[in-house]
């Protein structure tokens, strides 16, 4: 006697008992191409670059950014407080701008995953790490540093020393290590892997992919500016190359088209 527990009879094999786990079921109708996800990622890169340049220019004019970052607490904190509500709002916006790496990473993955899925999955993870680390680095300015700036004018000599020590410690840990080094390492790895995939894919002109590789390599050099002043000029140049490449890569994603057979549930 055949034991039919957990099995069902199918029309393909009427004389056999087949487990439902072995029966291929039809896919759900109406597959969705991940074009929308890719376009959102492209828009995030383009508008993120424009916002980055706008906030950077504002802070450079009102706060002498980024040169002032090397100054002591008794110089930097009064200048920070003098920027007023507009300055604090600019820092808050600057702190949330790294969130653009999340849709950018997902969009790039959806666009290029069919060619090198492993590399693009890793690129998406680097983009997520860039968002987290850069936000942690930048959020100290409109939050902890702002409160330190408010306390400093009425602080005693001993309290001034505590404020200075806290200010320097946060700059070293959250600023230099988290925001500048880990954050820049992460988004440069995202650009490196994405550009390498574009170069091997041959769907865009070679100069686009080579440009992305060059910007990523310049970023790797520039992130050591806190170790040696020799690479400071490279970091300064990369401050302008980075938003330019973000716009270029964003346009690449906006112009991306999937072939008809390529579908996904993204």
Tell which residue, 216, 212, 262, 253, has the closest CA to residue 107.
253
**79-91 pLDDT, tens per residue?**
999 999 999 999 9
Task: Output the CA–CA distances (angstroms, integers) from residue 216 to 132, 185, 192, 243, in the order listed.
Answer: 19, 9, 6, 12
Confidence category of residue 194, pLDDT binned at 50, 70, 90: very high
The per-residue pLDDT for range 106-136, each reduced to its tens digit, is 999 999 998 889 999 999 999 999 999 999 9
With contact defined as beta carbons under 8 Å apart, do 194 and 112 qualify?
Answer: yes
Residue 83 CA: distances (Å) to CA of 49, 73, 96, 263: 23, 15, 19, 50
Query: Phi/psi of residue 8, each to 5°?
Result: -140, 155
What are 181's two structure tokens? 């080094």
Other residues' Cβ atoms within 10 Å of the Cβ of residue 124 = 24
Over residues 145-160, the pLDDT tens digits come to 999 999 999 999 999 9
Task: Tell whether the model's pLDDT for residue 199 goes beyond 50.
Answer: yes
């Amino acid at each position: 006697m055949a034991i039919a527990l957990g099995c069902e009879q199918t029309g393909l094999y009427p004389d056999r008992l087949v487990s439902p786990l072995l029966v291929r079921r039809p896919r759900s109708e109406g597959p969705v191409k991940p074009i929308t996800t890719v376009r959102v990622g492209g828009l995030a890169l383009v508008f993120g670059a424009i916002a980055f340049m706008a906030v950077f220019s504002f802070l450079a004019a009102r706060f002498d950014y980024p040169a002032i970052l090397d100054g002591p607490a008794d110089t930097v904190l009064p200048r920070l407080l003098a920027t007023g509500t507009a300055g604090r709002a600019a820092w808050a916006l600057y702190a949330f701008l790294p969130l653009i790496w999340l849709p950018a990473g997902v969009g790039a993955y959806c666009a290029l995953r069919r060619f090198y899925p492993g590399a693009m999955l890793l690129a998406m993870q680097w983009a997520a790490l860039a968002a987290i680390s850069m936000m942690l680095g930048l959020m100290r300015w409109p939050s902890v540093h702002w409160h330190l700036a408010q306390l400093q004018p009425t602080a005693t000599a001993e309290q001034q020393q505590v404020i200075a020590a806290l200010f320097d410690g946060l700059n070293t840990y959250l600023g230099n290590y988290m925001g500048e080094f880990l954050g820049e390492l992460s988004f440069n790895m995202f650009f490196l892997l994405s550009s390498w995939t574009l170069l091997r894919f041959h769907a865009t002109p070679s100069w686009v992919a080579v440009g992305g590789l060059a910007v990523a390599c310049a970023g790797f050099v520039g992130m050591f500016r806190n170790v040696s002043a020799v690479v400071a000029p490279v970091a300064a140049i990369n401050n302008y190359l980075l938003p330019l490449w973000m716009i270029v890569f964003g346009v690449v994603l906006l112009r991306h088209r999937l072939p008809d057979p390529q579908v996904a549930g993204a």
